[in-house]
A and B are shown apart, each in its own frame.
Chain A
Amino acid sequence: MTAVATPPTAPAAGTSAASRIVKHIATARETGIVIALLLVILFATLRNPAFLFSSDGFRDLLLTPSLLLLVAVGQAIVIITRNVDLSVGSIVGLTAYLTGRLFIDVQGIPVIAVFAAGIVFGGILGVINGALVAFARVPALVITLGTMYIYRGINVAWTGSNRINASDLPADFRGLGTGQILFIPILTIIAVVVLVVAAWYLRNLRSGRELYAIGSDPAAAHLYGLNVTRRVIAAFVVSGALSGLAGVLFAARYGTVSSGAGLGWELQAIGAAVIGGVAISGGVGTVWGAAIGAYLLLTINRALPILGIDDFWQRAVVGVLILGAIVLDRVLAVRQHRRLIAQREQAR
């Protein structure tokens, strides 16, 4: 599993002799996207070696998708519970601006405090989403569409014509946005740590597995005695907190924050999760898939101009990818369904 897990390195297929693992990797839903990602990188590098083999190229390959990865992981957790969070882009924008304001208004504030503030603030916005969805029993699509408008409106009202300029932020904070440890950008390390924790939680802990149960069949989960309300709120809090973290890192990476920060990220995050095999109808998928989906989306964006495709077509390619991913999932599901029926027939 971990072999597939780290998108930046090629999947070392079969490092362990256990054929079970090899088989698992070969049939995993995520393998397809990893192969697609590697192909994109391969072609782009063949056209222009600098895409991978210059220090900037390698850095950007890892760095650019890191922020979307965080948001996509949160989005995946929400989608697994058969909900959706459209407000993530607005949360990123709000926390990015909050980050800048904290540095301007509170002289000498420690960087770690700003991180905490961003995460907590994002979490609070997530609580609002989750509470409305869970207590009012209304679809997340409507609620988060509403909060998307509200949070963005508050953001624009608060920002007005101000913006945070790079010179407003302390140099060591901005250094986080571009700094590297052993050639790996700090932002990527943060994102991967979050990813590993989220994946471990969803895979190995009871409450993580309950999220899948709720997404598969909310009514059954409720009747079984799972605390659906609490779990759903928790999923939204995680999504909000991760978007908040992404907002803080947005300020570090881009330095300039205007009221449009994070605009349109919600669809990118949902797209990344869907491409990564997280079914929109809930109960299926992993955060690994969502993470690789985020990498694939943004790497394609960067690779197309190098491959000589007009970058105006990027969105069309993204659309084809999303459709391809869900059609593939459907085909796999139908095939598995047939196989199970055949097995049952044989068992008789």
Chain B
Amino acid sequence: MTAAATTTAVPARTYKAYGRPAWRRFLLTREMAIIALLVLVVVVSLAVVPHFDSPLTVTYLLRDIAPILLIALPMTLIIITEEIDLSVASIVGLSSVMTGLLTHGGWPFPLAALAAIVVGLIAGVFNGFLVTVVGLPSLAVTIGTLALYRGIAVGLLGTTAITDFPQDWTELAKANIPGTPVPAIMIPFVILAIIFAVLLHFTPFGRTLYAIGLNKEAAAFSGIDVGRTKFVLFTLSGTVAGFAGVYFTLLYSNARGDNATGMELQVIAAVLLGGVSIFGGRGALHGVIAGVLLIGVLGSSLRLAGITSDIINVITGVLLILSVVSASLLAWLQKRRSAAIGRKKGQAGVSSPSERATR
């Protein structure tokens, strides 16, 4: 029953901080609802889907969604500041092509990988420059750079695919942590996740992100350098996408211009599913990670059950819409109820952007 109790999706914007006991504030959040849903899906899958309980499931699942997990970290921060980065998948492709070209050109692999990550960083800097220095809307900018980076990637490599990478490195990308079914890529991911979580939830820098997302002008007047903050975030996003590109290349031993096409939408869908508000100012990393895992586990479980990819897409779409609509719906229900009860005490049901609570 407690499991069911935690699946509530109480919109966080409708109460003042500390209006309720701590256990409730912790358990009754969007993030917890997603985590509970994830647990439920895993439990049900274990019970009814054949072969879901094999350790291979864990290996394949985490291997496949590792790039999305990685990119979702900086994406969360960007969306919290009310911006968006649609060019990440193209940066993955570009970084993949750079890795391939440089390795092919005789560079030692670590150097080529480093260069590819730097290319990702430069791509991120360029996004950040256009958004913050020139002052353009990030949606338009990153639709442009989505086409630009993908075009460069496809243009550089033309028709060929580079498939010849040092065995040691491709083995490493596919290796598991000794004695477990967990892929080794999870080690850098966990380290990055801890860094991002600390950055977002336990540093002044992280608090400024929420402040920017809630109200840019107010943040600027309270002494936050909004431009610089966003610039840093886009740079981080590009760098992590660059790293994901190197990993992607090794995982499939394959550098191609069209690698990871369409991944940007998967990342954004997962981040939004994880309870990050596209209006900015709201979200937490544990929800996002659960969101990515939820989409991954659903896909893996349904594939094992012999359900085709189209149905998986429909379910992803429905979940995404439900996750955003449910919040609005609950707020609306509450508003109606408080209106019906007619208590004047605090008008608790009305949520307005100005009094959103971040947690």
Contacts and interface: CB of A to CB of B under 8 A. Distances in A.
A and B touch in the complex (CB under 8 A): yes
Interface of A: 84, 132, 136-139, 141-143, 145-150, 152-157, 259, 267, 270-271, 274, 279-281, 310, 312-320, 322-323, 326-327, 330
Contact of B314 (A136, A142, A154, A319): A154
A78 B313 CA distance: 24
Contacts of A317: 151
Contact of B328 (A84, A138, A156, A322): A138
Interface centre among B147, B151, B268 (most CB of A within 10 A): B147
Interface of B: 84, 130, 134-137, 139-141, 143-152, 154-155, 158-159, 257, 265, 268-269, 272, 278-279, 308-314, 316-318, 320-321, 324-325, 327-329
Contacts of A312: 151, 154-155, 158-159, 257
A147 to B, nearest CB: 6
B329 A318 contact: no
B332 to A, nearest CB: 8
19 contacts: A136-B324, A137-B328, A138-B325, A141-B84, A142-B320, A145-B272, A146-B316, A147-B317, A152-B313, A157-B311, A312-B159, A312-B257, A315-B155, A318-B148, A322-B140, A322-B144, A327-B130, A330-B134, A330-B136
Contacts of A157: 308, 310-311, 314
Given A149-B316, A313-B155, A323-B148, A280 B268 contact: no
Contact of A319 (B147, B257, B269, B313): B147
A246 to B, nearest CB: 20
A141 to B, nearest CB: 6
Contacts of A139: 278-279, 324
B318 A146 contact: yes
A274 B143 contact: yes
A316 B309 contact: no
8 smallest CB-CB distances across A and B, nearest first, come from A316-B151, A319-B148, A315-B151, A149-B317, A319-B147, A156-B310, A153-B314, A322-B144
Contact of A318 (B151, B272, B321, B327): B151
A314 B137 CA distance: 24
A136 B329 contact: yes
Given A156-B308, A274-B143, 15 more contacts: A148-B265, A149-B320, A150-B317, A152-B313, A153-B311, A154-B314, A156-B309, A312-B159, A315-B150, A318-B151, A319-B149, A319-B150, A323-B141, A323-B148, A330-B136
B36 to A, nearest CB: 21
Contacts of A148: 265, 317
Contact of A132 (B130, B313, B321): B321
B91 to A, nearest CB: 12
Nearest to A154: B314
A137 B278 CA distance: 12
Given A138-B328, A145-B320, A316 B269 contact: no
Contacts of B145: 319, 323
A165 to B, nearest CB: 21
Nearest to A149: B317
A153 B151 contact: no
A316 B145 CA distance: 8
A153 B314 CA distance: 5
B116 to A, nearest CB: 18
Contacts of A279: 137, 140
Contacts of B147: 267, 271, 315-316, 318-319, 322
Given A310-B155, A315-B147, A327-B134, A147 B140 contact: no
B324 A143 contact: yes
Interface centre among A136, A146, A152 (most CB of B within 10 A): A146
Nearest to B156: A312
A130 B327 CA distance: 18
B316 A326 contact: no
A316 B311 contact: no
Contacts of B150: 315-316, 319
B146 A267 contact: yes
Contacts of B84: 141
A148 B149 CA distance: 23
Contact of A316 (B148, B265, B314, B328): B148
A149 B269 contact: yes
Contacts of A152: 310, 313
A153 B268 contact: no
A55 to B, nearest CB: 32
A323 B321 contact: no
A320 B146 CA distance: 10
A149 B320 CA distance: 10
A259 B150 CA distance: 24
B152 to A, nearest CB: 5
Contacts of B316: 146, 149
Given A136-B325, A274-B140, A280-B140, A145 B268 contact: yes
Contacts of B312: 153
A156 B308 CA distance: 9
Contact of B269 (A132, A137, A145, A313): A145
